[in-house]
Amino acid sequence: KAGVIPGIKVDTSTHPLAGCPGEVVTEGLDGLRGRLKEYYQLGARFAKWRAVINIGDDIPTGTCIEANCHALARYASLCQEQGIVPMVEPEVLMDGDHGIDTCYEVTEVVLRSLFGALFDFNVALEGTILKASMVLPGKDCDEKASVEEVAEATLRCLKSAVPASLPGIVFLSGGQSDEQATANLNAMNALGPQPWELSFSYGRALQAPSLKAWKGEEANAQAAQDALAHRARLNGAARSGSYTPDMEKELAAA
DSSP labels for 162-177?
S-TT--EEEE--TT--
User: CB–CB of 96/57 below 8 Å?
Assistant: no
Please report the beta strands in the chain, taking only residues with DSSP state E, as ranges in sequence order: 7-9, 13-16, 24-27, 46-53, 85-92, 129-132, 168-171, 197-200
Q: Is 148 a catalytic residue?
A: no
Q: For strands 24-27 and 13-16, give the pairing.
A: antiparallel
Label residues 69-99 b or e (16+ Cβ within 10 Å = b). Answer: bbbbbbbbbbbbebebbbbbbbbbbbebebb
Label residues 168-187 b or e (16+ Cβ within 10 Å = b). Answer: ebbbbbbbbebebbbbbbbb
- Neighbouring residues of 121: CB distance < 8 A, sequence distance ≥ 6: 73, 74, 76, 77
Q: Is 131 a catalytic residue?
A: yes
CA distance 200 to 152: 17
User: CB–CB of 200/239 below 8 Å?
Assistant: yes
131, 144, 215, 217: the active-site residue: 131
23, 48, 89, 108: the active-site residue: 89
- Catalytic residue numbers read 89, 131
